[in-house]
Every structure is written in C-alpha cells, then in structure tokens.
Amino acid sequence: MTLTFEDLSPRMGAQVTIGKDELVGGTRAREIRALLDRRGVLLFRGLAPDDRELRAIARTLGDLRIGGAKRGADGKTLTEGDEGLMKISLDPDVNPEYARFLIGNHLWHMDGTYEEIPPLATLFTPYRLSKIGGDTMFANTYAAFEDLEPAERARLEKLRVVHTMQAALFPAKRDGTPEEFAVWHSYPQRSHPLVWRHRSGRKSLVLSTSGAYVEGMHPAESHDLLQRLMAHATQDKYTYRHKWKLGDLVIWDNTGAMHRVLPFDKESGREFHRCTLNGEEPVTGVAPEREPAMA
C-alpha cells in the first residue's frame, strides 16, 4: 500500500494520511522521507503527538539533534532544549535562551545557515496558538531555481554567499542596541554556495535573510541580486501558507525550503514544540568547469 497524500499547493506541500502508531513505529519512514524530499512540507492533521512521540517520530526519519553548541559573546550556550525537544515561544519564561533570537523567524530564512551542515528537517507541533496571525509560510527553493533561465542558473552556480547572524536579525530589529549588535556579531559566519547541488542530483537556491553578501561582488550589486532572488523565490507560486490547528504535525525540509512565521500577538502565549534532524550533507556547490585542454 502506498502512502496516501494530497498536494497542499501546486509546487509545495502534501497532507499525509497515516495513523499515529504507524508514524511513531517508523514503518513508512522511507516513503515519508522520499515525499518530504519531493514536496518540501508534510502535514499530518489531528495527530497531536506528545513530546515522547515527537522524538520517536523524529528518530525514525533521521538523526535527532541533541544538545547545542552555539555560544555568544555574552557566554550563553544555546541548547536544543530537553533531549532534542525545544519549546518555541517568544516568552522568555518558556524559553529563556532562544526567545531573543526568535524575532528573526518573522523573515524568510533557512535554519542553521551558520553551520557547515545545515539541519535536514524540522518537526513542529503547536501547543498554544495565537488568536490572530501566526501562520507559517514555506517557499520551495528547488522550484525557484529550476524556473530560472539556464544562463542565470549557470551564473548563480558560480557564486558563494556569506551568512551572518547580524544579517538575519537586523531586519527584524532595526533599533538594535550596540550590545545586541555585539552579540549578533559574535556568532560564526559561514560561506555557502548560492546553489546547492544535492546528493540526489537536484539543485536548490540557498537563500535566507541571513545571506549578507555575495563573495567578491560589489556590495550594491550583491544587495540587489539577493533582494531580487528573494522576491523571485517567495512568489505565491512557490509558497504554501499553513494555518495551524491544534493537533497538527508539520515536517519541513530545511535544505530545499525557506520558512517564516507571520506576525502574531506577542502576548498570546503562542507555543510550539520542535525537534530538529541533523543535516546529512554539506551545502555542495557545482564544481567549476575545467578549462578545455590545450590541443
């Protein structure tokens, strides 16, 4: 029996029908991974996994991220919560370490662009929703790349982009203090190819608000290129907007999609539980073409 699913939008997302026991048991894990690769976002409605089940589902699909390694100038280590389960909330009482960084979630981004091997996927389930706002949007960066003209694809494949925490957070907090800038600036920077050639052979744009500049390009030209690509990749035809219901489980592919949360009431107590799967391959660019051998 094949997995039953329905597309959520033409280029992005699938709603999967499966029993919770089957999902937790991992008997369809291989099919789910293949569908995740193909559709970018998978929605399971009415499952309401508890923390133990969420970790178990994550482990059937990949390598559950445990612990954290990021350290800021203020000496704070950001951990991945309780045995791989993180509570995502703007309330510092719920998540004292991460709350101040979550402002960046409102802008289009990929997670972990500061890492050599960005996370593979995220599992996300709501515990408390805001009354207004708070939908999550996803954009398919495979499709956005595939639709570019061949000459532009070839040009972009030669470029690398430096990702920084200050690029990710400054647009979300334009009145950042010098102290906040110092903390943002203390996080590692990472250069990635602009186009990811995946092990599967497929290619996607590595776009994120964290993308500060294109290496070796004039800053103005770099700014315009990244802005233009971001506008291209987030057109309606590449996106899926998810309106959350309690009980939902959403899994997204962090390597071929961007995501963002739409504004919501900060005092609403909106809270999600999240598991992250470690990445399985570095962002690999396309090998430069060899000069033809001299006759």
Give me the residues that bind Fe ion (CB under 5 A), please.
Answer: 111
- Of the pair 43, 121, the CB lying nearest Fe ion is at 121
5 or 101: CB nearest Fe ion: 101
Bridging pattern class, strands 14-17 and 41-44:
parallel
List residues bridging with 222 in a β-sheet.
none
Of residues 8, 9, 80, 87, the one with CA closest to residue 44 = 8
248 contacts 125 by C-beta, under 8 angstroms: yes
The residue number with the shortest CB distance to Fe ion is 111
Nearer to Fe ion, 111 or 157 (CB): 111
Pick the closer one to Fe ion by CB: 9 or 254. 254
Q: In whole angstroms, how far apart are CA 93 and each of 70, 98, 124, 174, 269?
A: 20, 10, 20, 24, 11
The upper half-sphere exposure of residue 192, i.e. CA atoms within 13 Å in the direction of its Cβ, equals: 30
Of the two residues 183 and 258, which places its CB atom closer to Fe ion in the complex?
A: 258
Least separation, in Å, of the C-beta of 274 and Fe ion? 9
Residue 10, amino acid: P
Task: State in angstroms the smallest separation of the CB of 144 from Fe ion.
Answer: 18
**Separation between Cα atoms, residue 237 and residue 139, nearest integer Å:** 9
Closest distance between Fe ion and the C-beta of residue 181, in Å? 21
- Quote the least distance from Cβ 245 to Fe ion, whole Å: 20
Nearer to Fe ion, 111 or 253 (CB): 111
Give the closest residue to 6 by CA, choosing from 37, 34, 41.
Answer: 41
Taking the complex as a whole, the smallest distance from the CB of residue 89 to Fe ion amounts, in Å, to: 14
Minimum distance between the CB of residue 112 and Fe ion, rounded to whole angstroms? 9
The residues, any chain, with a CB within 8 Å of residue 60's CB and separated by 6 or more, are: 23, 24, 25, 26, 29
Helical residues (DSSP H) of 40-185, grouped into ranges: 51-61, 141-146, 150-156, 165-169, 178-185
Residue 62 in tokens: 């990949």
Task: Give Dmax (Cα) for the chain.
Answer: 71
Q: How far is the CB of 259 from Fe ion (least distance, A)?
A: 6
For Fe ion, which is the closer residue by CB, 88 or 212?
Answer: 88
